[in-house]
Structure formats: structure tokens, C-alpha cells
Amino acid sequence: MSLAGRSLISLWDFTKAEIETLLSIAERMAEAIGLGGRERRGSFEPMDRILATLFFEPSTRTRLSFESAMLRLGGQVLGFADARASSTSKGESLADTCRIVGGCCDIIVIRHWLMGAAKVAADFSGVPVINAGDGPHEHPTQTLTDLFAIKRVKGTLSGLRVGLCGDLKYGRTVHSLAPVMARFGSEIVCIAPKALQIPEETLAEVENLSGKRPEATEDLAEALNDLDVLYMTRIQQERFADRREYERWRGIYVLTPELMARAPEDLIVLHPLPRVDEIEPAVDRDPRARYFEQAHGGVPLRMALLASLLGLQPAPGPQRRYGLDVQPQPSAVPETAEEVRSRGRQVVENAPPCRREGCVTEVWDSLPSQAYVLPDGRQVCAYCERALAEA
Amino acid sequence: MSLAGRSLISLWDFTKAEIETLLSIAERMAEAIGLGGRERRGSFEPMDRILATLFFEPSTRTRLSFESAMLRLGGQVLGFADARASSTSKGESLADTCRIVGGCCDIIVIRHWLMGAAKVAADFSGVPVINAGDGPHEHPTQTLTDLFAIKRVKGTLSGLRVGLCGDLKYGRTVHSLAPVMARFGSEIVCIAPKALQIPEETLAEVENLSGKRPEATEDLAEALNDLDVLYMTRIQQERFADRREYERWRGIYVLTPELMARAPEDLIVLHPLPRVDEIEPAVDRDPRARYFEQAHGGVPLRMALLASLLGLQPAPGPQRRYGLDVQPQPSAVPETAEEVRSRGRQVVENAPPCRREGCVTEVWDSLPSQAYVLPDGRQVCAYCERALAEA
Amino acid sequence: MSLAGRSLISLWDFTKAEIETLLSIAERMAEAIGLGGRERRGSFEPMDRILATLFFEPSTRTRLSFESAMLRLGGQVLGFADARASSTSKGESLADTCRIVGGCCDIIVIRHWLMGAAKVAADFSGVPVINAGDGPHEHPTQTLTDLFAIKRVKGTLSGLRVGLCGDLKYGRTVHSLAPVMARFGSEIVCIAPKALQIPEETLAEVENLSGKRPEATEDLAEALNDLDVLYMTRIQQERFADRREYERWRGIYVLTPELMARAPEDLIVLHPLPRVDEIEPAVDRDPRARYFEQAHGGVPLRMALLASLLGLQPAPGPQRRYGLDVQPQPSAVPETAEEVRSRGRQVVENAPPCRREGCVTEVWDSLPSQAYVLPDGRQVCAYCERALAEA
């Protein structure tokens, strides 16, 4: 069950046990870099491995977090921070670009505006690939960072009541967090105005996984009373074509010290950041506000992931403590066939081509036409994972 | 009197003794990297510390100099080279950005167009911060580089006659160099057309520190006869709204071989670079032209600064010679209360908010309203250090 | 015959024996990084040397290849990926920029849109410089990568029949590859429509070197029968002012599985990449398609070059195997005076200034006016190497 040599395109690429093992390694990494106390900080020896960060779309936070993780491990980094600096302007296919970059590095982190771009990189580069966001499709390390924050404070991922609040329609992070919390046996509460509610598809997926349809409400103040985790999100300005539409929703939910005063004592507040107006700075001083800690956890989490996919071995002695001697932990909640539905493994070759808007197959039509078969027999495009029309 | 863990926002953050110690460490660093002769070059072992370079405004020279310094020390670098690549476009506050970046690194170098941005980084990031230019406010490592160049050639910072020539109105470097030379007991001569003379505020500060008002003249040829140091500056094109106004002043002072022929033998010519037309390339061959040497000194100076703020300890053996065993040198000229006026220490909380143009408080109004008290009792905004209106 | 401390501006800076030695070192490097089999991968210790990559024009492929090479050697990298991030906007001369960057690093790789820019860097920086493309003038590491690919598969650079196909008028790579293959005693076949044929100047140079004028044809299918190496190139869209003109030629030569079926069994297909339409993706699976292998060879080739110019010595023990104990190999084919014509050594100072379009002397007129004398007595501008008008 080693992760060495594998890629992370979607959270479904890992079983629950693999996710839990990764979080345990991340905890070791957090300790090694002194996250929970500088005095316990260890040190890492240099390591001759190179990470290539291919950011076809800028994302400073995510990029710096990955680069920091690789440098903390003792490795090296090269790459580009936005597409303008890449040679895609000369009309090269993404597959060719990845094939060539694969010869310059040992592992790739890619961010792209097209769904399926990370899968293309994994298929053609010859090295492990981590998806750092492929359009509206997936951004699994953000979700792993969320899980790591919850696990560190709550000690578990099961049996929790997790409120998602804000722009649940366009906010990609909640589309990933909701199903994975359901996989781990937690309950979801969706707090949003009707116009920005979570898509029916995600609701159905959560229900399918947990046997229970998430509650939906517009009332943050009331919902707050009963939550273990409040996950705030910003209104995604860039997704609104109409500026007035954005202004209408911006500020609809604002977490204030007054609201916090009435919230449970053991609540924790998370946020994928950046925030705009939805959490008042005065809340930052509340010990239940854990969003900066959450963000800081992104570095050891990514260290654990890079080390695992690179197959680094723990070295003897006090140096280079990769934490990879952590044994995979069997999941507390048994995995159902539903949960490990092994997307990405049951591949249909020569499937009907997808080529829909936003899918990588729309732009490069010579990519192999592949589909994945879901447990209910439906086929989804292997790149954007949207359901294919009936053949 | 250790600098470990501290930040450098303004030159007033360091006493004269601290500055002199830093220059001594820089001299050791210069030797270790072979600046004064490749044959004496030492070597540095890798070090698991990360510098984040946050350049919200491009500045290749300054950025590369810091990056080179950190790499020469054996450390690592991440960051961004201009604001376009940052997530500020999503509306995040600078405080939040710095808080998150602080989790990715061990020290931050920041350049920003807003006055006070470096102070915000220091207040929120949790790691030491170096100001690499915050709008028209401060750029202390440029001034330290200037001091290092003078000290290396002249052997002292006291008792010198230093001519500042060119655009003294908009040239930020001279606004910092003039007061610090006065602190060290040197004399200032301001060579500029009336329209581009040094601001009255800076003149008053120098007079206040040295008890002597700087001379002012328009005549470079004459002033030259009597100088130990000539500090040339370019006309700051980007500060002129009107192109014709710029063209009028450009070329008003041009240092030529003819002028140099009549200048003292022990004069040295410095320039913060880049130059445009104000020093003819033919002057480069004159042994008194020290501006490239000055620029090269920026690397060991920044090595000394990074090593000091990171609190690196000198390692035994021939490797990793950080030079930090240099003992702080008591300043030759005694420090007056005036000199160590400890800006940044006497803080007034809940001061009247500044929010003036170009100050970081104008953009982010949730920053704490802080003021510093000057020795004469006046209060200045703690961010942009401009005098606050009477309460 | 050591390369230590030297610069590579043009392929004529190296003798054939030096090129062959470099290719032998590159072969060792390829082995050390596991190019020909991961199981044989070695490791490199950290090395305190810094490469500055100065890309005034973006070129992701070339930049990442150099950065990977330096990091693989254990060194460090700083620099910029495109001109917008540089301070050239403040009107600084290229000579000044290079002089300052030289103080931040141990070796420079430069790409610039002006011919001669790399020579300026070599003249002013004080460190070895590698030309990574100076406008239409030279891009020698691409050509060395081509030679390395040919040598690895064919075992020799002599006695081959090399077909160049596509846009031979604007494709810079073929203008370099043709003469050097002629120097090594191979034959050139130019496959292009008349409007995009190789310039007469290059034809003359090849004839001059090999005593034989290259064949020219428009028929790829026929030419294919008789080739050892087919070097495909893309139509350089960015060189056509007129979009319709580009569309007319794009797709004129497309290498298909059908064409490959009729080609010799020991043919190899190369391409400098990126490709657009000129090689169908289905050809990638053909074992004779070697263009990705060729691209991957660019890393060890650049490792060999960086190590040689930096004068790195092979370390004892299993680590840091620079391969520099390779003894220079005398060239199989004797060198004629013609071949080692030592451009760059017979310098005429105070030559008539060039200042023609695209030459670095057009922009900075204070550069020294230098010319090189060719064996036939003609003088060429030392920057752009175009013939100077009669004095």
C-alpha cells in the first residue's frame, strides 16, 4: 500500500487508510519543522531530488506552500509561476510540455485552468504528479490540509458535525471536503443562500456515501449552536460574470465576535483562505479561530505527500526524519466498496470523447479518449469526471 | 545586543554600534565569498533555513542580491518577483498574506509600494522581516550597502565630507544616507538644482543630528574639490508626472573624465545604481569609481544581515564561517539620546489613524492605529513615519 | 585545453575535440542522473556555486533545462524568467546589469532578443557566460543537445546523411546544426519549399567547410529513403508578419506513421521542440522517434557544460561524480585551419561600428566597436557576426 511512484489527481486516488497514514506522517513532519514548538525543531539533510512547479495559473499561497515543503525536506525546486512564462504560446500540447519537464525533475506539481490537466501530466511526464488545482475539478491538497487541521484539533475525522458556510455553489474546496467528510463518517450542514447552495450533484454524492442527505439552512447564527467545525468560505468574486451579483452576496455571512460569543466552546473555525470580509479580523484572537494554523499545516502536509510519492526512506540518525516509518493505520470506520470506488482504476479506453467546455480534451483532441466506470455503472470522462452522455 | 530574531524596517532600528558590528561581519563575509580575491574564497555548508522574497514591486537588483546572499550562506529561497503573481488580486489583506507566508519560511524580505508595508509584515508574520523598500519611506539595506562601501575604502564613517548629487528631492537613497552619515559625524553637501533639492524635513533632521545645516550648491565642479565621497544619483524619471519636466533635468549633472581629472585623488565616487546618463562609461576605468564595487558589496552586507537576524552561530571547523563571532564594537563617537532615539520602541497604541495617501493604513483600515513618539514629543505614524496632525 | 573560466557564445568558441570531450562528459552525467536506467542513478553532493539565469525573453524549456542541470550538480539558481521583472525599465545598460549580476553568481546563462547580448555579458560580468539564444544569432546549447542525441544513437557525428526539414529560412537551430555537422564530416540535405529554404549564407558556409554544397529538395517522402537523421522543425509562426503567409506553410510537411513505414529502419527522427503539427502524435510510439530522448539529453549536456566552465573537479568517493576526469579526445577527423577559425580570438578594436537592426550595438552605442576577422579576410561585427560594410 505504498504511495511511492503514484500520483495524486483526486482524493479518490487514496483510500481512507492511506489518507490517515498520510496525516500521521504529516504530524511527524509538523513536529520536525517545529510547528508545534520551535524548540523541538529538527533538521533535514540536503536531498538530490527536484520538484517542478508548473503553475499555468497563478496561486501564490499554494505554490509557496509546496516549494517550502520541498525545500524543508532538503530538496530543490524549479518551475514557473504563471502561464505567460511558458512556451505554450508556441502552440505546444500540454502532453509534450509535461513529457519534457518530466526529464528535468523527479516530481511535478501542476495547476491549470483546464479540468484533467493534472491527469495529462501524470500520463505523460514519467514522474509522480500532484494536482494543485485543475480548474473547477479538484484541488486535493487543499482538502488534505483541511482534514489535517480537523484531525489535529479534534483528534478524529469521524462523528463530527461540519458546517460549510458561504459560497457553496462556486467554492471548489467545499465540493471536495463534503464527500470526504462523509466518507469518514461525519455529518455535513450546508449554510448558504439558496442561490449559492451546494450543487445537487455534490449533495447526492454525500447522501450516497453517508446514507444521509446533508441539512441545508440559510441561518448561520442558528446552525452555529450545534457544530463541531465551521468551515467559512469567501464569495468567489471571479466566478460572477456580473459585478452587481457579486456585490449582492458579498457580506451576506460575516463571522463576528458577537456570533462567536454565542457559539459552542469546542467549535473550531476553519477557512481555506484568502478571506475577504467574511471573518472579521477581531475574530482572529479567538482561540477557536484556527484558520492560520490550518494554513500553516499545509507545509508539513505537503512534506508528507512529497516524501511519500517520492518514496523517500527514513534515514538513520537524528537527521532527515521523514517520518515514513509510520505504519499505515487501518481506518476506524470500515471502508465500503462505495468508498473505495477506485475511480481511475477501471478505465474504459476508446470511450466517447468528452471535449466539453473546460475539459482538457476540448483543447487537445489527440488525447486518448478514456472514461472511468462508477460503481453505479455510469461512465465519467477520465479527465473532468463529468458524466458522459449515453453511448 | 544580539540582532537575532529582530527585524530591520528603518535604519533607526539599529544603534550605531550595531551598524558597525554588522559592517564588520560583512567584511568577514566579503572575504569568505572571495570578494577581495578569489584565492581566499571559503565555502559554506548547506543550512536548512528559508528566505521568502516578497516583491510586490519588481526590483531585480535588490532581489538577486538578497537571494544570492541567502544562497551563499547555504540557505534556500522562495517567493515572488512581482505583485501580479500574488493572490492579493483576490482581495486579501497584507497582514493575512504575511501571516501565511510566515509559515513557509524563516525570514522575509519585502518590497512594496506602500509605506509601512514592511512593518505590517514584521507585526504579523512571526518571523524576522527585512525592508527592501516600502514606497518612498525606507530602503535600509541600500544605505547599509552605501555605508559598507565607504567604510571599506575610507576606513571610517566619521569626519568625512560627503557630496550628494542629482535628484535629491525624489531620490530615496539620499534621504536615508544623509541622516545616518550625520549620526556618524560626517558632513553633508547637497549638490542639486533648487527644484530638485533635498526636502527641508531631511535638512532639519541632519541639522538636528549633527548640529550643522548641510551646505547646498548647484555647482558640481566646484563642490568636487573638497569632497571625500561623491554620491551620484539618477533623475528619477518615474517620479515625474510630466515627461518634459524629466527631460529638462536629465543630464543636468554628468560626471565626465574631464571633471574627474580636476577632482581630489582620494575622492571616491559612489552611485546606488542603476545609472542612466549621469556618469559617463569612460569614468568606469577611473580607480576612484567605486560604484560597481559598492554594488558587489551588497551581497556580503546582506549575508551579514540575514545571518544576524536568523541568529546563526559560527560553526567549528573551516566550513560555514558566518563571521558571527565578531564582537560588537563600541562606536568611536559616543551615541547621544538623539541618535538612539529608539523609534519603534515608544509606541502609542490607539493613536489617531493616519490613512494618508501612500500609507499602508490608507488601504487596510483594520490595522492597529499606532504612533511613535519622537524625542521632541511630536508623534509620527508608526507605518509611514510622517508627523500626525495634532490630536 | 581546459574549458574552465571560458564562455560559450557561439559553437565556434569550441574546437571539435572540445565538443567531443564535452559530449563524453555529458554521457557520464546522463548515467549519473539515471537517464539510461534509474537503477544506475548516482547522487551529487551540494556545491556552493550559483547560476544566474537572465532570461530577457521567456523560454521555459531552455531555462528549466539549465536550472535542472545546475540543481542536479548540487548547485543553486537565481535569476529572472522574463525581462518585465528586470530593472532594464529604468534605462540601465545591459553592460551595467551584467556587471552587477556577475557579483551575485558564479556563472551566467543569458537569453536576449538582441544579437550579441551574450557577448556583452561575457565581456562585462567577470564570470563565465553561456549563450541561451541571442536573437537570430546563436543558441549553441540547443545544437550541442542535437549533437549529443545523434552521437548517443549513431555513435558518431561523421559520415552521416542529415536531412533538415521544414522552415529552414527562419529556424535558427538548423543554421547552427548544418555547419557543425559539416565540420564533423557529415552531409546535409535541405528539405523545404523554395520560399523557406536555408539562407544562401549558410549554404555557402557548409560548402566552404565540407567542400560540398548541400542538396536541396522539396520532397520529404523521397529524401527520407536515404537519410540517417531526419531533423524536423516547426514553421516559426512568430517570424511571419502575415498570418495568412504562416497558414499557407503550416502543415506543408507532416511526418505521419505512413511516411515512417517507408523510411529506413536505422533512421532517427529529431526535433528541437516544441512541435506544432509537423509530427503526428502517433509517430511518438515509433522507436525511431527520438525527439523526447533528445530533449531529455539537454539536461546532462548542460550539466557537462556548467561543470566544465566552472572548472569543477571530480571528487573522490562515490559522490559528486562530475565526470570531469574524462580526457579530451582527439578528433577522429583532423581539424583544418578552416574549422578552428577561431572567431572571437582575432579581434579588431575600433572597427567600424555595426549598429544595425537587431544588433546589441544598435541599442547601446557606448559598447566598444569590435570586429572579428574571418579566414577569408572579411570582417564581421563581433556582436552579431554579420559582415561589416567595407571600411
- pLDDT tens-digit readout, C111-131: 999 999 999 999 999 999 999
User: Does residue B104 contact residue B126 with C-beta atoms inside 8 Å?
Assistant: no
In a domain, A251, yes or no: yes
More confident residue, A366 or A106: A106
Q: Is residue A332 part of a domain?
A: no
A247 part of contact set with chain B, CB < 8 Å: no
Q: Which domain holds residue C376?
A: 345-390
Look at residue C87 in the predicted model and tell me its pLDDT: 47
In the block, residue with C-alpha cell 510510439: C285
**pLDDT at C264 exceeding the cut of 70:** yes
AA letter at B220: L
Q: Are A110 and A130 in contact (CB under 8 A)?
A: yes
- Chain C residues inside the 8 Å CB shell of A52: 64
Q: How far apart are CA A341 and CA A375, in angstroms?
A: 6
Does C366 sit within 8 Å of B74, measured CB to CB?
A: no
Q: What is the mean pLDDT of the segment spanning C202-215?
A: 91
Domain-located, residue B182: yes
Given B21, B62, B202, B361, the catalytic residue: B62
Residue B332 confidence class, pLDDT cut points 50, 70, 90? low
Q: Is there a contact between C73 and C303 (Cβ–Cβ < 8 Å)? A: yes
**Residue B107 with chain A: CB contacts under 8 Å:** none
> Per-residue confidence at C319, pLDDT binned at 50, 70, 90?
very low
Q: Which residue has the cell 563642490?
A: B223
The pLDDT-based confidence of A242 (bands split at 50, 70, 90) is confident
Half-sphere exposure of C385 (CA within 13 A, CB side): 20
Q: B46 or A261: whose pLDDT is higher?
A: A261
The reply to whether A56 and A194 lie within a common domain is no
- Cell numbers of B167, please? 535628484
Confidence class for position A391, pLDDT limits 50, 70, 90: very low
- Does B92 contact A46 at a Cβ distance shorter than 8 Å? no
Phi, psi of A228 (to 5 degrees): -90, -35
- What share of chain B in percent tops pLDDT 90? 66
CATH number for C354: 2.30.30
Q: Which of C90, C194, C244, C285 is catalytic?
A: C90
Note whether A195 and A98 are same-domain residues: no
pLDDT at A333: 60
Cis upstream peptide for C128 (omega within 30°): no
Is the ipTM here above 0.85?
A: yes
A274 neighbourhood in chain B, CB within 8 Å: 87, 90-92, 96-97
Residue-level pLDDT at A43: 74
Percent of residues, chain C, with pLDDT higher than 70: 88
Task: Give me chain A's average pLDDT, please.
Answer: 88
Give yes or no for C292 touching A (CB within 8 A).
Answer: yes
Neighbours of chain C (3+ CB pairs under 8 A): A, B
Q: Are residues A56 and A125 in the same domain?
A: yes
Question: Based on the domain organization, do B165 and B281 belong to the same domain?
Answer: yes
- Residues C215 and C163 placed together within one structural domain of the fold: yes
CA distances from A46 to A239, A298, C307 (A): 42, 21, 20
Q: Based on the structure, what is the number of domains in chain C?
A: 3
Kindly list the distances between the CA atom of residue A356 and the CA atoms of A56, A83, A388, B259, in Å, as whole numbers in the listed order: 20, 22, 10, 71
Interface probe for B, chosen from A43, A56, A59, A64 (most Cβ of B below 10 Å), is A64
* Pairs across A and B, CB distance < 8 A: 75
Distance between CA atoms of residues B83 and A274, nearest Å: 16
Question: What number is the average pLDDT over the span A348-354?
Answer: 92
Instruction: Work out the pLDDT band at A35, boundaries 50, 70, 90.
Output: confident
Contacting residues for C7 by C-beta, under 8 A, at least 6 apart: C13, C118, C122, C128, C129, C130, C131, C309
How is residue A68 written as a grid cell?
517550502
Q: Are residues C283 and C251 in the same domain?
A: yes
CA neighbor of B74 nearest in space, from B57, B51, B55, B102? B51
Q: Which three cell numbers stand for residue B381?
A: 505614524
Instruction: Give catalytic status of residue B62 as yes or no.
Output: yes
**Positive/negative CA dihedral, B180, B181, B183, B189:** negative
Cell of B234: 539618477
Asked if B61 contacts C87 with a C-beta cutoff of 8 angstroms, the reply is yes
pLDDT value of position C65:
97
Please choose, from the candidates C98, C116, C117, the residue with its C-alpha nearest in 3D space to the C-alpha of residue C108: C98
Q: What is the mean pLDDT of residues B5-14?
A: 92
* Minimal-distance CA residue of chain C relative to A54: C60
- pLDDT reading at A8 higher than 70: yes
Question: Are A128 and A164 within one domain?
Answer: no
**Substitution target from C67, C84, C87 for chain B, most B beta carbons within 10 A:** C87
| Domain stop point among B258, B292, B326 | B292
Average of per-residue pLDDT values in chain C: 88
- C176, C215: one domain: yes
Please give the C-alpha separations between residue C391 and each of C91, C201, C343, in angstroms, as whole numbers: 32, 21, 20
| C77 and C30 in a common domain | yes
**Would you state the pLDDT for residue C85?**
46
Residue range C30-74, pLDDT digits in tens? 988 988 776 678 777 888 899 999 999 888 899 999 999 999 999
Asked if residue B231 belongs to a domain, the reply is yes
Angle between helices B291-310 and B16-32 (to 10 degrees): 110
Interval B318-345 mean pLDDT: 55
Say whether residue A82 is in contact with chain B using an 8 A CB cutoff.
Answer: yes
Q: Which of A102, A303, A96 is nearest to C34 (CA)?
A: A102
In a domain, residue C317? The reply is: no
Q: Return the pLDDT at B378.
A: 85
pLDDT band of B235, cuts 50, 70, 90: confident
Based on the domain organization, do A211 and A144 belong to the same domain? yes
Q: What are the distances in angstroms from CA C25 to CA A20, A188, C215, C303?
A: 46, 60, 33, 9
pLDDT at A85 over 50: no
Which of A310-324, B231-245, B321-335, B336-350 is most confident? B231-245
Assess whether the previous peptide bond of C287 is cis (omega < 30° from 0). Answer: no
- Give a three-class secondary structure readout of chain C: CCCCCCCECCHHHCCHHHHHHHHHHHHHHHHHCCCCCHHHCCCCCCCCCEEEEEECCCCHHHHHHHHHHHHHCCCEEEEECCHHHCHHHHCCCHHHHHHHHHHHCCEEEEEECCECHHHHHHHHCCCCEEEEEECCCCCHHHHHHHHHHHHHHHCCCCCCEEEEECCCCCCHHHHHHHHHHHHCCCEEEEECCHHHCCCHHHHHHHHHHHCCCCEEECCHHHHHCCCCEEEECCCCHHHCCCHHHHHHHCCCCCECHHHHHCCCCCCEEECCCCCCCCECHHHHHCCCECHHHHHHHHHHHHHHHHHHHHCCCCCCCCCCCCCCCCCCCCCCCCCCCCCCCCCCCCEEECCCCCCCCCEHHHHCCCCCCEEEECCCCCEEECCCCCECCCC
Q: Could you tell me which residue, B150 or B92, shows the higher pLDDT?
A: B150
Amino acid of residue A336? T
In a domain, residue C333? The reply is: no
Position C118: which residue type?
A: A
Average confidence (pLDDT) over B2-23: 91
What CATH number does residue C64 fall under? 3.40.50.1370
d(CA C24, CA C326): 7
Mean pLDDT, residues B17-36 taken together = 90
- Please report the pLDDT score of residue C235 as a whole number: 85
Residue B154 annotated among the catalytic residues of the structure: no
The model's confidence at residue A307, banded by pLDDT at 50, 70 and 90, is very high
CA distance A238 to chain C (A): 26
A165 and A81 belong to one structural domain: no
Q: How far is CA C33 from CA A77, A106, B258, in A?
A: 16, 11, 57
Q: Is the pLDDT of residue A319 over 70?
A: no
B84 with B187, same domain: the answer is no
Tell me, yes or no, if B90 is annotated catalytic. Answer: yes
- Residues of A carrying an active site annotation: 61-62, 90, 111, 139
Which residues face A359 on adjacent strands? A115
Report the DSSP pairing between strands C187-191 and B50-55: unpaired
The C-alpha of A338 sits at a distance from chain B's nearest C-alpha, in angstroms, of 37
What cell does C225 get? 529513403
Contact A264, A225 (CB under 8 A): yes
pLDDT at residue A87 in the model: 47
Name every chain B residue with its beta carbon within 8 A of the beta carbon of A237.
Answer: 90-91
Please determine, for residue B85, whether its predicted confidence score (pLDDT) is greater than 50: no
Contact flag A67-B85 (C-beta cutoff 8 Å): no
> What pairing do the DSSP bridges indicate for beta strands B347-349 and B268-270?
unpaired
Identity of the residue in B46, B64, B298 whose CB atom sits nearest the CB atom of C78 = B64
Rounded CA separation B57/B172 (Å): 16
Question: Which tens digit of pLDDT belongs to each residue from A221-232?
Answer: 999 999 999 999
Q: Given an 8 Å threshold on Cβ–Cβ distance, is C234 in contact with A87?
A: no
A87–chain B nearest CA distance, Å: 18
The total of other beta-carbon atoms located within 10 Å of residue C255's CB is 25
Q: Measuring CA to CA, which residue among C135, C157, C177, C138 is closest to residue C363?
A: C135
Per-residue model confidence (pLDDT) at position C83: 67
Put simply, the answer to whether C68 touches A78 (Cβ < 8 Å) is yes
Kindly report, residue by residue over B41-74, the tens digit of the pLDDT. 877 788 889 999 999 988 889 999 999 999 999 9
- Residue A170 maps to a domain: yes
pLDDT of C88 over the 70 cut: no
Cell numbers that stand for A175 in this block? 465540493
pLDDT confidence of residue A376? 77
Residue A83 is predicted with a pLDDT of 67
Task: Please give the C-alpha separations between residue B275 and each of B175, B234, B235, B271, C92, in angstroms, as whole numbers.
Answer: 18, 6, 9, 8, 6
Averaged pLDDT score across all residues of chain B: 88
- Measured in angstroms, the CA of C364 and the nearest CA of chain B are apart by 11
Question: What is the total residue count of chain A?
Answer: 391
Which is nearest to A149 in space by CA: A288, A37, A253, A339? Answer: A288
Classify residue A82: in a domain, yes or no: yes
CB pairs under 8 A between B and C: 74
Nearest CA in chain B to C96: B274
Looking at per-residue confidence, does A319 or C327 come out higher? Answer: C327
